[in-house]
Amino acid sequence: MRSLTATPQTARAKQNQLVYVAIMVILVAIIARSLFGHHENKYEKIARDMTVALQANDLATVKKFQNAETATEVNRARVGHAADVLGPLGKLQTVKEVTAQGAAPRVHDFDLRFKNGSVHETMKLDPEDKIVRFNYNVVPAAK
């Protein structure tokens, strides 16, 4: 006569099924995030890296993003001022390009969200993707 209680093999099979289902759910979530999540374009990456360098008061890195002409205008005072303005905003969380259709060639606008605030940046690039002009404005917090 057979017992109606689950055998160890049946319990193990159910446990394995739960593990497989959990793995499948995790894989679907990862795939969905990679397909539908926002991926930075190359201009957003430049804006991110430039902003992080400014926050860190890293003059050498900031100069690497400039073209030969504008690199001579970048100095310790300008980068230090930017660090003073951007530093208190905390960790940079997102960079989103918001350039309007019909904008001037090679001019890109971005909205950046930090832990403690937001910034709007405008960047003009030369044909080699080096910065010719870079402006940032802290966006006042909504009341």
126 token code pair: 């030369």
Q: pTM of this prediction?
A: 0.71
Phi, psi angles (nearest 5°) of residue 112: -115, 135
pLDDT at 7: 59
pLDDT at 12: 79
Asked if residues 102 and 91 have their Cβ atoms less than 8 Å apart, the reply is no
What secondary structure does DSSP assign to 46-68, as a single string?
Answer: HHHHHHHHHHTT-HHHHHHTB-H
Please state the domain extents for the chain.
8-37, 42-139
30 token code pair: 């990862």
pLDDT at 21: 78
Tell the residue number behind the tokens 């005072």, with chain if given: 77
What residues contact 26, with CB distance under 8 A and at least 6 apart? Answer: none
Give the type of residue at 82: A
pLDDT at 3: 55
CATH topology classification for 42-139: Nuclear Transport Factor 2; Chain: A, (3.10.450)
For residue range 15-72, list pLDDT tens digits in order.
Answer: 888 877 778 777 776 666 655 656 889 999 999 999 999 999 999 999 999 998 888 8
111 token code pair: 């909205």
